[in-house]
Structure 1
């Protein structure tokens, strides 16, 4: 018992030392790392959640192990010191929602310094401050939600400041129950993530600008080539070195190429409003296959459709046709002659069905798969590189997903997952 007491006595001091080291150290590591935005966001959330959860567990263990009155008084001082040194909002409430303790950070935040809060509810505390009256009343509802869930709950809360700005908190509420299931106490911990949210905003803006730069470079590259050809022929026609009438078809082709690039870019950047209806996917796929029947026959390629099941999906029929036209067209272009394209429609799980298109064409290397869908990325000699970009945007609009596997000289498999219709949306 003596050893356990000594152990619990040193925990707050270890926490005061390790806590700041953890916060500063992990923030520094993420700052200098070369991780992606998604990885940085995930690690920031995870380390914050882990730190707060461990803090809640620590506080709970400390409270649980305060046995006799003398030890309680001693440990209460340590506990108060611990929570007052935390850079987070911390408060304790009993099972009836009455305040037991709040750290200095929380008292300063809600302008409750010097007020006798012990034994008072949020409603009673709200009477002490006009500015934070509504915020404290709101806590009654969120506390009740935590009690109903019966486990750690988490949410983002925005606290207004008198200067007109806001602070954003990643809030955790930890309900504690007695052995008989009655309410014992509630621990509320809120981490100030205002700086993190601002950093995320700036990072997103930076990534948007970077993506815009890459897209602009791609547009310039793709449009410059046909423009150079058109300009060259016009200059030669101006100098009378060629007869423009003999090259009109070439000039029109290059203009059509520019127009095609612009149209596909508009579909990606500013998609038009589309109408969704309850449609049969088997019928849509069959109609797409029929469109390619002559082309497939000419290159001696067999297209087989295996309608294993019939499925309806809430969709834009024209957009899904465009999606499958892009996929089947790519499959035909990957096959030189005497090829096979197998299309299967089957149930994937309770909520989704799959349309799988498999060809025995030239296939792709693994390194190319990760770039599928990137604007202006194409393995075709005269490809624009926007077909799969458009296709992915269509799949995303239909709340679906795409899985691609491929092997050089073996073929490619694309599995499109789309949600099943259980009831037609109104």
Structure 2
């Protein structure tokens, strides 16, 4: 053997080996030598590499790799061909490598050797293999059949040692179980239907013990107890000795196919039964038109036995007047295959009567061995009569639809008009045919049309009926109050096909209801009039008497001052009483404000005490810290008046009338958190029966005698409560009195109820010499206003009527800064004067001072730059309001 120099041999191995070699001192972790492969892989020079530590050059992709590398140089930890390491390159990138670590026992000390093999190609090949495998699994999983494959390892018999290589996820879905359930091929037997499980196992045993491939049709049982039909194909691969080494399975869900085939089988059976039992008939004719076969239906229809018509001409029992037309229709059908045009004719029955027969489905048999024609026919006598009746009903419904006074139209699911009745055409101002295909907001320009479109979309989305009431404008400009209902238009299957819209013009009804409410309110005023007149006369007695004592000198000095003070108090009480009566009797729409319910009840009781029988004790139990309500104060006062007067009438011999306020929610609002304030009015009167209690809120229902009531009191109470978003509940029994609970929605607390007394001032504010016009047809009021304003330093112009006021304003040539106008004056009202002087000077300020604000004598709203001062007023009040308006304070 040739002797080689060991040093040269080692150097050759180090240089020529294809892996990267790192020789290092295991104690210091410093590199001693590397081969050229290291320099090629890393891009470092030999000098650069030898400056690095091993832990700098290598890192492990998972945690703890560095410690494993260091420990490999001990005697106890060694590893070879370890993947997952990375080698640093000069560009600070990392190359995947697999490492083999060895310990070289050399003198004078052991050294470490790291062999790093470039792992990029292997990893690339592995990634490619995984991609191919993933793609293959995707292809297999998308197959309509569940595929699986299993291999057999060593085992004592052919039934052991089997493991899956692949299982399609579809296999688990067919069985209704997760794929992990099938941990070996024979686990599938557990999901086979119990009635077929043994047969499945026998077939499987035959395949494994020498039989060939097999195919089975059986059921599998799902966890919910259901069953699915599958077709199972099983193939076996054997080794040279004939032992099975691989099983490939293909399971196909054929439940729908099996059901369809079963349905066909059942359908054939049913068809045979139906042909024999059906009342629709079939005739088999030869080419000459002779009956060769007739189903039993001819017995039911015409009364002939099938064998009795066999051999007869097919038209033997057709009415003579219809024979010619029937022959032509039969010939046409035979010469135009595929055109199934029914023909109706009259047939003569066995009893001599006639029946209406519909002939359809005329076809030649395609079988060349049988030259015949099949004719289907049906008795439509009743249907023909029903069609004629339906036509009459349709005409009737069309007439009814046209006569409905409400606006009715119908639309498709896109909200496009399809048609409507004459009332709809009158409302739209155009024929319904011209509106077909248009939407509501494309026909009507009003804002309500946009809201209507939104309501239609809501109905289509939810299937619920929507209802609204609002003012709309006709094409001719007339405004009307419409109660509109938008409902889904459904088909026979319940699906929403479109919309039906019904609108009712309730303008006149609203006017009548308003008139009835006002009439009932005035009835209550009339019932209060006696007591109010008594108190008003008492107050006038105090005023006139005290003034006479002062005027004649009977009272002087301090006594006269005391009498004048008493006179002032009596006059203020009379003014407050007049203010309450005017407010209660005023006709006005619902004006919601945040009000103190306790204060409203107290004001109402001040009026009521004058007309309540002294034998009736009135108790008011207010909740001290009651939250305010969001309500119209005038209408709430009417509720109190109506309930208290109703209670008074229920106690003709006296009793106790109790009013209570508290925060409480009605039982129907269970779960709500104190959203309502409750006013309770109870009495100890006669009470009501169940029958009466069920009708008390009906308009015009009353238990009083003729001329003692309109029957609107409680109906108005109910209407006011519901208009505010509240409700009324009543409890009563005969002889046990009655209790009415009125629930009103809570409002946000605010101080909006400044009374007459809070407006009174005792000082006279000083003005800046501005010119003020005072127009009032009452001389005493004019003089009082002039004195008050002149004392405050204003220049005052006076006018005795509306026309004189406008002339005086014009002559002042822009000097008038503020006008004090009465509402009711001769020639021109306060509103007319306001409009005239605002045309002259749009910036002039106007103070409306009047004891009555109704009848259109004043503007409905409060225009900018205006205020209102209720009569009666005192001089200091007038001067203070004028100063505030002129200075803006």
By percentage of residues, which structure has more strand?
A: 2
Q: What TM-score does the superposition give when structure 1 sets the normalisation length?
A: 0.42
Q: What TM-score does the superposition give when structure 2 sets the normalisation length?
A: 0.23
Question: Which structure's relative contact order is higher, taking Cα pairs within 8 Å and 6+ residues apart?
Answer: 1
Pick the structure with greater CA Rg: 2
